Structure 1
C-alpha cells in the first residue's frame, strides 16, 4: 500500500512526465481474462483464508486489537496466504447470535470505530501485498443480514435461525422475501453506496481506487430460499437482485471485480441452471463454491473414520461439477469456503487434526491438478483463520461482549472449523499449497 504522500508524489511525477509515463504506470488491480485472474497481465492465483472479523480486530476500540491483527497478517503472509475474504457489513439486529457491535443500523448510522477498523485492515493488507474480497451482507443471521433488513421494513418482525417454533427451512424461506422487498433492498443498496464509495481515512485512497480490494461480493451465501417450492417462486426476484446489485457495484467501482458469494449448487436448490443463470450475468466476474461435508451430512463428526471415504467422494464430485460449470461459463472458479472438524468433533485447539488435514490435502490436490491442466480454478480461501484466538468459555460458545475473535462466527462453537496458530500440520499443508500455486504457470 502506498502512503498518501507517495500516491500524490507519483501522480505529480506522472503528470510532469506526460502521457508516455502515465501509460507505463503499473496496473495493480486484479482483472479477469477469460477463466483466469491477472495482475499487470500476469496470471494471479492464490491460496487464501477467510477472516470475517478483520474489521473488528482492526478497530481502535476496546473490542479491537491492532497489534494482534498485525501479528495475524504476518503469520498468514509467512504461510503464503495472499488473499483474505472479509465481512464488510453487519446490521444492528434483534436476532440471536448476531455479532456485536454492529457496523450500521440500516438507516445510515455507522460505528465509526468499525469503519476505521476496516480502513486499518485494508491499509495493513496493502503493506503486505495481500488482496481482499469484501462481502456486503449475509443470507444468514450471524451478522444481522437479510433477515435483519426485513425486520427494518416489517415492523420488527423476524424469525430466529434454529427456533423450534420455526423448523428448517422456515428461516431461509422467510429470508427469500428480501429479494422482492424494494424497501429492504434499498436500505442494503444504501450501505453498498456508503462502503464502496468510502475513502480510507488512513491511506487517503478511495476504496474504489484501491487495488488491495480484489472483489466485492453481493452477500455471504445468498440463496433463492431453502425449499424448492419457495425458491423456484422467488427466482425472478432473486435473479433481478443479483443483476441489479452487481450493476450498482460495477457503476461505483468499475476497476474491481464482482462476485456473488454463492455456495454454488448447494446455494441454488442444487440446480445447475440456477447456478449458470446467476453467474452468466456480465457484471459477475467469477464463480464461487463452498464445500461443507459435515454441515451437509456427508460425514459424521463422531465417526469420521467410518464416513470420511464416502464424504471425500462427494467432495471430489462437487468440485468436478463446479469446474465443468465454470468452464462452460468461461469464468474463473474460486473455492472460497471449505471446512472440516477436528478429530472426534472436538473444539479444543489441542485436539488432533488428522482428518481435517486429509481434507485440506484433497481440496488443494484438486486445485493443483486443475491448475496444471490450465483449468478455471484460480484461488481458494479456507474457513477460517483463528490464529491466536481462543474460546473465552469452557463450553466454546460466544457470548455478547466477548473479544476473543475466532474464525468461527458467533452462532458456531468457537473452535469448530478455525485453524489456530498452534495447528502446525494444517499450516504446513497450507504453506506447501501456497508455494505450489505461486510457482505454477498457465
Structure 2
C-alpha cells in the first residue's frame, strides 16, 4: 500500500508539471540511435558532473552567481552535462514541493534559473525526479504525505526566465525516475520492476521529447545470476534492483549506473579497487551493448578523500581508469556514452563540501584529467560523425557573414572575436587526399579549445604542389574551406606573400620577366601593369571559385571571414610608402568590386610611417623604417575594413631582455589599439604573434607570459567595446608534422600551459560575445 500511494503521488507530480503545454520542436533535443546519443545529427557524449545543489543555491538570487561560475568553468573544460536534483520535498528549508502538489515559487524559480543558465551557457541537464534517500525529502516524504493527506494541488510549470515549459526545453537532456531506486522490502525486484514499468511509460506519455532513464546504481538481480555473484557487493543483493530487467523496458532510453567502489568495498587497496572498477564498467558496458542495446551513462563516480590511505594520486587513478574504459568503448562506437563524476562545488561553498567534492577552478591534476577526457570525447564525436553514414549527420554551419560596425566585428547581430591561429600549410597538406586528415584533426582540436578563426595562405605560386601553377592556371583543391565550414571555423585568407616562400611577389615578377617584361626587382610587383593584372586575375579566380565539395562560390561562402591583400607587404624601393599605399588603394577597390560580401585587410605588420612620426620613432624597430609601409595611411583606405598588425619583439629586438620585450609588446598593442579606435575607427586583429623556442634563455614560462600579456591587452579592449577584435598566434601544426615544425609551432592536443591560456582567452571572449556588448562607435 505504501508503494501504491507513492506511485500515485509521483504520477500526479509529473503529470501536472506538463499540463496544457504545446509540444516543442525536436531540434536541439538529445535523442538515441542504437547505443549512441545523437545531438543535431552527431554523436553526443555525456562528459560531465553532478551538482545536486544547483536549485537550492539558485533559490536566493544573491547566490546564483555560483551556478554561473560552475557552468562557465565546466564549459571552459569541455564538459557537456550536469546532473542535478529536480526535487526538495517536505517541511524543510527551501523546499521545492512543500506538500503534495504545493510548490514554493521562489524555489521553483531557482530551478528555472538553473535551466535557463544551462541553456545560455551550453550545458545539458539530467534531472532525477525524486530521491531514494531521505535527503531532500525522498520516498519517505511521499509516503508520509500519503498517510496524512488525501488531497493534492496541481501546478503547471513554465520557466519564468525562458517562458518555455520544462517538457519543451532542449537544455534538459533527460529525466531520471529516481536517484538510486531501491526496494528493500522485496528483494526479488518485482516491486521495483512493476513501479518502473508503470512510471516510465507514464513519463513518456506526458513528455515524449526527453530521454528517460532509471537513476540506477547498476546492481544486478536474478536475471543475471553470474553478474550478481561476481560484481555486486553483498549488501546490494537485498535492495531489490536489477540492472538488466529495470533497463530492458521500451520506455527507458538509456541505462544508468554508479560506481562507489570506495563505499562498497572500503577495505580494498588501490590496485584491487581499480581492478573492480574495470570489471564493473566493462561488464555493464558489455550488457548495455549486447543485451539492452542502449547507451549507458556512468552517472556517479569518484573517490572520497576520507577513504583509508587516500592520496590525490589514488583519485587520479580512479578517474584515469574510469575514463580510459569509457573512451575505449566509445572509440569503437560502443555503448559507453559518458561519465559524470561526483561532485562539483563552487569556490567558498564549504557547507556543501564533501569527501568527493571538486572545484573546477582549482586546476588540480584531477581537473586536468577531466579536461583531457572532455577533449578526447569531443574529438571522438566529430570523428565518428564524419565517418558515419547512418546518423543523419548535418554539416556544422558557420552561419552568416562577419561584418563590421564601427570598431567591432558582428556575426548574427552579436560582437564576434577572432581568437584563433595561423596554419599557413592547410592548402599544401589538403592537396594530397592521404594527408587531409591533418586538416580535419587540427580543426577538431581548435573547436575543442573554442578557437574561432584560422588564417591561412590562399597562394602557392609555382613549384611543388602549387595552387597557381602558372599565371591563371590552378590546381583543383578546395578541401580546407570545406572542413572549416563543416567544423564551424571562420577563415582569413591571404592572396599573396611578400616573401619568396610559396612563390610570393618574386614568382609574379618572374612570370612577367619570362614574357619579356622589363622588370628587375621584386618591388616591380607594385607598379608593373602586367604583374598587377596577374594579381587581379588571381583575386578574381579565387573569389569566383566554386568549391568542388560544397558547390558554393568563395565570394558567397560565409566560412571565409575576410581576405588579406598580402602577407606582410613591404616595398623597400620606396621608403616613403607612397608606392605601397597606391597599390593597396587600387587592389583593395578591385577586390571589393568582385567580392562585396567579405571583409578586407592589408596583412600588414603594423610599422608606422611618415603620417605618425612620433609612433615611427618610438615603436618601429630601426630596420622597419625602410620598408615603405605606413600603418595609418595603409589602413585609412575606404576599401580596407579592418587593421592588421603582427608582433615579434624577439625577432625585432634580439638584444632586449625579457622584461623589456614584454613592455614593448604591451606598448605596441596599446598604441595600435588607440589609433584603431581614434584615427582609423576600425577593428584591429593581431594577425601573428608568438614566442620562439630558439630565443636565448627560452623557457615555457616566458612563452606563457607573452600569451598572457597579449591576451590580457586584447581582452581589456574588447571588454570595453574597443577595437581589439582578437589575436591569431603563429602557428598550429598537427601531431607528427615535423616537416612544418619551427620554433613557434604549437600542437593543441599536447595541452601545454600555453594551450590552457589560449583556451581561457576563448572562454573570456566568448562570454563578452554572449553579453552582446556593442560599441557605441558609429561608421
Deviation, structure 1 residue 86: 0.8
Question: Which residue number corresponds to residue 249 of structure 1?
Answer: 591
Whether 1:91 and 2:461 are equivalent positions in the alignment is: yes
Deviations along 1:338-396, one digit per CA (max 9) or x if unpaired, are 021127659xxxx95221111111100111111122210011110000131442xxxxx
2:456 aligned counterpart, secondary structure: strand
> TM-score scaled to structure 1, two decimals?
0.75
Q: Give me the whole-angstrom Cα distance separating, in 1, the residues matched to 2:399 and 2:703.
A: 38
Equivalent positions of 1:374-385 (< 5 A) are 374-385=721-732
Are 1:222 and 1:267, in contact at CA under 8 Å, matched by a contact in 2?
no
Q: Give me the whole-angstrom Cα distance separating, in 1, the residues matched to 2:542 and 2:559.
A: 15
Question: Which residue number corresponds to residue 495 of structure 2?
Answer: 136
Are 2:408 and 2:721, in contact at CA under 8 Å, matched by a contact in 1?
no
Task: Choose 50-59 or 202-211, whichever is displaced more.
Answer: 50-59
- The count of corresponding residues between Structure 1 and Structure 2 is 354
Over 3 Å counting, the alpha-carbon distance change for 1:39 and 1:344 in structure 2 is: closer
Over 3 Å counting, the alpha-carbon distance change for 1:131 and 1:156 in structure 2 is: same
Q: Give me the whole-angstrom Cα distance separating, in 2, the residues matched to 1:389 and 1:249.
A: 37
Q: Give me the whole-angstrom Cα distance separating, in 2, the residues matched to 1:207 and 1:153.
A: 27
Q: Give me the whole-angstrom Cα distance separating, in 1, the residues matched to 2:759 and 2:706.
A: 15
Equivalent in 311, 318, 335 of residue 668 of structure 2: 318
Question: Which residue number corresponds to residue 14 of structure 1?
Answer: none
Question: Which residue number corresponds to residue 574 of structure 2?
Answer: 231
Deviations along 1:218-250, one digit per CA (max 9) or x if unpaired, are 01011232xxxx3335x3332221111111111
Q: Give me the whole-angstrom Cα distance separating, in 1, the residues matched to 2:530 and 2:629.
A: 29
Over 3 Å counting, the alpha-carbon distance change for 1:155 and 1:124 in structure 2 is: closer
Deviations along 1:1-56, one digit per CA (max 9) or x if unpaired, are xxxxxxxxxxxxxxxxxxxxxxxxx9710000010000122111121100111112
Aligned alpha-carbon RMSD (Å): 2.5
Q: Give me the whole-angstrom Cα distance separating, in 1, the residues matched to 2:469 and 2:453.
A: 29
Equivalent positions of 1:75-90 (< 5 A) are 75-90=445-460
Moved over 6 A (4+): none
Question: Which residue number corresponds to residue 256 of structure 2?
Answer: none
Deviations along 1:262-283, one digit per CA (max 9) or x if unpaired, are 1111699559992222111111
Deviation, structure 1 residue 252: 1.5
Q: Give me the whole-angstrom Cα distance separating, in 1, the residues matched to 2:399 and 2:481.
A: 18
Question: Which residue number corresponds to residue 734 of structure 2?
Answer: 387
Q: Give me the whole-angstrom Cα distance separating, in 1, the residues matched to 2:421 and 2:474.
A: 27
Q: Which sections of structure 2, spanning at least 5 residues, go unmatched?
A: 1-397, 611-623, 774-779
Deviation, structure 1 residue 251: 1.4
Deviation, structure 1 residue 298: 4.5
Q: Give me the whole-angstrom Cα distance separating, in 2, the residues matched to 1:176 and 1:419.
A: 33
Whether 1:288 and 2:650 are equivalent positions in the alignment is: no
Equivalent in 416, 426, 430 of residue 743 of structure 2: 416
Over 3 Å counting, the alpha-carbon distance change for 1:286 and 1:254 in structure 2 is: same
1:288 aligned counterpart, secondary structure: strand
Question: Which residue number corresponds to residue 531 of structure 2?
Answer: 184
Structure ranking higher on relative contact order (CA contacts 8 Å, 6+ apart): 1
Deviation, structure 1 residue 156: 9.2
Are 1:213 and 1:256, in contact at CA under 8 Å, matched by a contact in 2?
yes
Q: Give me the whole-angstrom Cα distance separating, in 2, the residues matched to 1:330 and 1:270.
A: 25
Question: Which residue number corresponds to residue 74 of structure 1?
Answer: 444
1:194 aligned counterpart, secondary structure: helix
Equivalent positions of 1:260-409 (< 5 A) are 260-265=602-607, 269-270=624-625, 274-298=630-654, 307-327=657-677, 328-342=679-693, 353-391=700-738, 404=739, 406=740
Deviation, structure 1 residue 65: 1.1
Question: Which residue number corresponds to residue 395 of structure 1?
Answer: none
Deviation, structure 1 residue 67: 1.8
Over 3 Å counting, the alpha-carbon distance change for 1:355 and 1:258 in structure 2 is: same
Q: Give me the whole-angstrom Cα distance separating, in 2, the residues matched to 1:267 and 1:83.
A: 29
Deviation, structure 1 residue 105: 3.0
Q: Give me the whole-angstrom Cα distance separating, in 1, the residues matched to 2:728 and 2:668.
A: 16
Q: Which sections of structure 1, spanning at least 5 residues, go unmatched?
A: 1-25, 94-99, 158-172, 301-306, 392-403, 407-413
